[in-house]
Amino acid sequence: MEIIRDYQFVAESDRGASAAIGNFDGVHLGHRSVIDLARAALPEAPLGVVTFEPHPRAFFAPNAAPFRLMGPEARAHQLEKIGVDKLYEVKFDAALAGLSPYDFAKNVLVEGLGLRHVVVGADFCFGKNRAGTAAQMVEFGAQLGFGVTVAPLMAQGESTVSSTAIRAALTNGKPREAAAMLGHWHRLEGPVLHGEKRGRELGYPTANMSIDGLHPPAFGVYAVLVDVLEGPQAGRYHGVASLGVRPMFGENKANLETFIFDFKGDLYGKHISVALIEHLRGEEKFDGIDTLITQMDADSAQARAILAAL
């Protein structure tokens, strides 16, 4: 998959795609349905996705609480897995935000990216003040010479599949419910950071990761699947992870600490992807190290049993 970040300088070989447009935070089943329509609209064309970085919501409210389900790197990984050929990761800045809906269609989609067909969700808004609608995109397509498909919203049961609903499931400690809407396990990805190395002293060495900028799932302990994405130990492993602020040690910044079962090696600086499978318990403060270790033993045994049944 190729990633194109400047819509004003697009190689001829990167033009002519049939592309789905949106933020695609989480790349959930609703997003997948939009991308599938782009694939079906012009099967002979490159399959594209047009998204924005930073997320427009973060651009307009930079001090708001973290809300993203995944960062741009994780999103790119997931889009590549489902067969996207061209990821147009358009820079969202004041100039882009100031374009009228018509100018966005003309300057960005047609003259910039050279798209032949676009697919948007029924609730898609675009252009200055989010004034453009899906119906207007259809009109602009007819005027400017590109095809447009409007995708209906995807429902699951009585609710609509959405990033908002997925965030709520994760906040409530229900990763399996989130996975049913995502179509894949919710993952936290990033480089392994140096920590305080307390886990090693307790017999549980952990791979530490930051969750800065991401929506925090319920704090506590999870059974997890771990993909080591690079290096000689690349592969999939089982594990147990603690997500939170580590009240036992007076920390106040949330991170993810993952103990990988039956693993030996150094992962510092390596990128890993941790899939949350089941929330085992909430975050607790214990009255001593021995009590903490006993609980970690129990958490590990429970996680092994859950993961063995997958």
Q: What are the CB-based long-range contacts (under 8 Å, 24+) for 105-109?
A: 105/132, 105/137, 105/140, 105/141, 105/144, 106/140, 106/144, 108/7, 109/21, 109/50, 109/144, 109/146
Contact call for residues 109 and 101 (beta carbons, < 8 A): no
pLDDT beyond 80 at 196:
no
Check whether 195 has a pLDDT greater than 90.
Answer: no
Q: Are 224 and 240 in contact (CB under 8 A)?
A: yes
pLDDT digit string, tens, across residues 197-217: 665 666 788 999 999 999 999
**pLDDT at 265 exceeding the cut of 90:** no
**Mean per-residue pLDDT, 238-259:** 82
pLDDT over 90 percentage in the chain: 83
- The radius of gyration of the chain's CA atoms, rounded to the nearest angstrom, is 22
Global pTM?
Answer: 0.89
Instruction: Write out the two tokens for 5.
Output: 């970040």
- Checking if the pLDDT of 249 tops 80, the result is no
How far apart are alpha carbons 43 and 186 in whole angstroms? 29
pLDDT at 252: 63
User: Is the pLDDT confidence value at 78 over 60?
Assistant: yes
**How many C-beta neighbours within 10 Å does residue 213 have?**
12
Amino acid 111: pLDDT: 98
pLDDT value at position 110?
A: 98
DSSP symbols for 174-228: -HHHHHHHHTS--EEEEEBBP---HHHHTT---EEEE-TTBPPPPSEEEEEEEEE
Q: pLDDT digit string (tens) for 86-145?
A: 999 999 999 999 999 999 999 999 999 999 999 999 999 999 999 999 999 999 999 999
Q: What is the pLDDT of residue 40?
A: 98
How many of the other CB atoms lie within 10 Å of CB of 55? Answer: 18
Positive or negative torsion for Cα 22, 62, 133, 96: negative
25 close to 75: Cβ distance less than 8 angstroms? yes
Of 258, 253, 261, 252, the closest CA to residue 270 belongs to: 258
SS (H, E, C) 53-109: ECCHHHHHCCCCCCCECCCHHHHHHHHHHCCCCEEEEEECCHHHHCCCHHHHHHHHH
* Structural contact between residues 47 and 116, judged by C-beta atoms closer than 8 angstroms: no
Weakest-pLDDT range from 19-28, 142-151, 247-256, 266-275: 247-256
Residues 277-291 have a mean pLDDT of: 90
- pLDDT, position 289: 85
pLDDT top residue among 204 and 169: 169
Q: Please tell me which residue, 196 or 182, carries the higher pLDDT value.
A: 182
Q: Which of 1-10, 261-270, 282-291 has the highest mean pLDDT?
A: 1-10
Give residue 250's pLDDT: 52
CA distance 273 to 187: 6
Half-sphere exposure of 116 (CA within 13 A, CB side): 17
List, as one string, the DSSP characters of 93-158. -HHHHTS-HHHIIIIIIIIIT--SEEEEETT--BSGGG-B-HHHHHHHHHHHT-EEEEEPPPEETT
**pLDDT(68) > 80:** yes
* Torsions phi, psi for 104 (to 5 deg): -60, -45
Walk me through the domains of the chain, giving residue ranges and CATH numbers.
2-156 (3.40.50.620), 185-308 (2.40.30.30)
The angle subtended at Cα 75 by Cα 256 and Cα 216, nearest 5°, is 30
Q: Determine the pLDDT at residue 203.
A: 74
Q: What average pLDDT does range 24-32 have in this prediction? A: 94
**How crowded is residue 182: how many other Cβ atoms within 10 Å of its Cβ?**
26
Average pLDDT of the residues of the chain: 93
Question: What's the burial of 223, exposed, middle or buried (CB within 10 Å: 0-12/13-18/19+)?
Answer: buried
